[in-house]
Amino acid sequence: QQQVKQSPQSLIVQKGGISIINCAYENTAFDYFPWYQQFPGKGPALLIAIRPDVSEKKEGRFTISFNKSAKQFSLHIMDSQPGDSATYFCAAGHTGGGGGNKLTFGTGTQLKVEL
Amino acid sequence: DSGVTQTPKHLITATGQRVTLRCSPRSGDLSVYWYQQSLDQGLQFLIQYYNGEERAKGNILERFSAQQFPDLHSELNLSSLELGDSALYFCASSVAQGAGNEQFFGPGTRLTVL
């Protein structure tokens, strides 16, 4: 059962535009929501993360918006640049009873920023 | 460069064989995670170790096993390999074990089972 649903699957944005990627989760035990960026041939790299006690977090051109009641969160990339072209994954995690950390990933969004 | 190293980078083997993937975490990180990335299943969590002990388990097949050694490096053993095991296998590490601890991913090992 997929616990984190991500959309869209692919996205084309013009340079300078806003890229928006959405995720929805089911498990209310999740308390950590990171976004990862992956370039071809590389491992995922943490971009920005949020906890459910805040509704928004901004780091540079990247913003996470979080809606706890709707169980949804989204990534906004402002002033999108060709260098932002990559695959983006949302994820959700919680600390288990044994102290473990199990991240559940969305299916990924392939972003292409065109000149 | 995340500081996490994985060897080998590529591995080609035949069905029924056994392989071992190796991961060295970032200096100072005690927790190691293994993930499988395939086109049809996406990025799937397999297992987590913290300071040598198993801490969380995902959809890891019984044919797969892992361990973390006293020097904190980890190995993922895949046996009785099937065509469907072909995937990218990532190792990640973090300082501590709970959620909220940033996981740093290695470059991955690409496994091809023929």
- Asked whether the beta carbons of residue A32 and residue B50 sit closer than 8 angstroms, the reply is no
Contacts of A31 in chain B (CB under 8 A): 99-100
As a whole number of angstroms, the distance between CA A94 and CA B76 comes to: 23
Q: Output the pLDDT for position B106.
A: 96
Helix (H, G, I), strand (E, B) or coil at B56: strand
The DSSP result for A62-108, as a single string, is: EEEEEETTTTEEEEEESS--GGG-EEEEEEEB-B-TTS-B--EE---
Q: Residue B1's pLDDT band (boundaries 50, 70, 90)?
A: confident
Please write the tens of the pLDDT for every residue from B48-78. Answer: 999 999 998 998 999 999 999 999 999 999 9
Residue B61 β-bridge partners: none
Partner residue facing B99 (CB), from A36, A46, A95: A95
pLDDT of A98 strictly over 70: no
| Pick from A11, A15, A28: nearest CA to A88 | A11
CA pair distance B53, A84, nearest whole angstrom: 38
- Sorted by sequence, the CB contacts under 8 Å of residue A81 that are 6+ apart come out as A15, A113
Token pair, residue B44, equals: 């799937």
Give B14-58 pLDDT, tens digit per residue: 999 999 999 999 999 999 999 999 988 889 999 999 999 999 899
Q: B103: which residues sit within 8 A by CB, 6+ positions away?
A: A46, A101, A103, B33, B92, B93, B94
pLDDT tens-digit map of A49-75: 999 889 999 999 999 999 999 999 999
3-state secondary structure A2-53: CCEEEECCEEEEECCCCEEEEEEECCCCCCEEEEEEECCCCCCEEEEEECCC
In total, chain A counts a number of residues equal to 115
Task: Compute the distance between CA of residue B15 and CA of residue B84 in angstroms, rounded to an integer.
Answer: 10
Residue B54's closest chain A neighbor by CA? Answer: A100
Residue A97 binned pLDDT confidence (cut-offs 50, 70, 90): low
Q: Which residue of B has its CA nearest to A37?
A: B105
Measured between alpha carbons, how far is A7 from B22 in angstroms, rounded to an integer?
A: 33
CB contact under 8 A, B48 and A102: yes
